[in-house]
């Protein structure tokens, strides 16, 4: 069984039914994953319906951490995958569960923390959720019937991660320096957005959120190291300072 930074965090975003949380926990433990994170579960936590559905995987439910926002849930992660079948107008790489497993095992060797976001049962992840991810995870299902329930999606990801453990990763890190955590990246994003707000960049209220998502995608897709995040924040600070009058 893997622990801490040696396994991905399974993050259920706004899950609706306790039974589905329990079934997801059962799927995780089947393949040795133990780190469940819950973002704003609809019916609160703990949920009495989760235990019976977990069929003995109570260790997962007892240790599950609850967060108010996705930003808080991914703060300590370096690479986040968003499980979604919907077509998104976002420039993000798309992988299958098997490709994701290869990447994750290489990321672990680099000391990086990975996570997978799974959306609520009825609607899935929103664009604001997906913008926080580095990569989109999509299961190549029957195009005429692409409906997977939450536990099925979790079991596919967990199975591929488990079975890839003894294989040679096909993915290599692009950085010698450690990748920035999501907390560090979010700090950079918010810093940039605050300074742009002061300069009147977000002029149209109707375009604010699409512009914000585009900017956040630019930062996410750059795969910044920690040092690069510090450098970028220094650049923003420098540009935000009033010009000196040398006359």
Residue 229 belongs to some domain of the structure = yes
Residues 92, 16: one domain? yes
Closest Cα to residue 119, out of 107, 128, 106, 110?
128
Mean pLDDT of all residues in 130-141 = 92
CATH number of the domain to which 71 belongs: 3.40.1280.10
Instruction: Say whether both 18 and 91 belong to one domain.
Output: yes
* Domain coverage including residue 210: 182-240
168 occurs within a structural domain: no
> pLDDT over 90 for what percent of the chain?
55
Residues 195 and 131 in one domain: no
Segment 24-58, tens digit of pLDDT: 999 999 999 999 999 999 999 999 999 999 999 99
Q: What is the pTM of this model?
A: 0.80
Same domain, 11 and 71: yes
pLDDT, tens digit (0-9, with 9 covering 90-100), for 220-242: 888 888 889 989 999 998 888 88
Average pLDDT in the 164-180 region? 62
Overall domain count for the chain: 2
Q: Hey, which bits of the chain come out as E strands?
A: 9-13, 36-39, 65-67, 79-83, 94-95, 114-118, 135-137
Instruction: Tally helices (H) and strands (E) across the chain.
Output: 10, 7
CA 6 – CA 106 distance, rounded (Å): 11
- Residue 67: CB atoms within 10 A of its CB come to 17
The mean pLDDT value for 198-219 works out to 84
| pLDDT tens-digit series, residues 48-92 | 999 999 999 999 999 999 999 999 999 999 999 999 876 667 788
Question: Would residue 107 count as lying in a domain?
Answer: yes
């Amino acid at each position: 069984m893997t622990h801490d930074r040696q396994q991905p965090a399974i993050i259920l975003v706004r899950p609706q039914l306790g039974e589905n949380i329990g079934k997801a926990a059962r799927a995780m433990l089947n393949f040795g994953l133990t780190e469940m994170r819950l973002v704003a579960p609809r019916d609160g936590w703990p949920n009495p319906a989760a235990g019976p559905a977990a069929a003995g995987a109570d260790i997962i439910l007892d240790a599950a951490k609850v967060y108010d926002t996705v930003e808080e849930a991914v703060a300590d992660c370096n690479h986040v995958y968003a499980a979604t079948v919907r077509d998104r107008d976002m420039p993000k790489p798309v992988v299958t569960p098997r490709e994701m497993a290869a990447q994750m095992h290489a990321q672990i060797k680099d000391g990086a923390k990975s996570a997978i976001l799974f959306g609520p049962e009825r609607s899935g992840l929103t664009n604001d959720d997906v913008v926080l991810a580095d990569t989109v995870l999509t299961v190549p299902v029957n195009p005429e019937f692409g409906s997977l329930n939450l536990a099925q999606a979790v079991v596919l990801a967990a199975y591929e991660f488990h079975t890839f453990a003894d294989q040679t990763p096909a993915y290599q890190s692009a950085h010698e320096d450690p990748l920035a955590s999501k907390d560090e990246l979010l700090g950079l994003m918010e810093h940039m957005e605050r300074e742009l707000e002061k300069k009147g960049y977000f002029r149209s209220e109707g375009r604010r959120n699409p512009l914000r998502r585009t900017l956040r995608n630019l930062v996410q897709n750059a795969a910044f190291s920690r040092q690069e995040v510090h450098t970028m924040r220094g650049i923003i600070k420098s540009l935000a300072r009033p010009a000196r009058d040398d006359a």
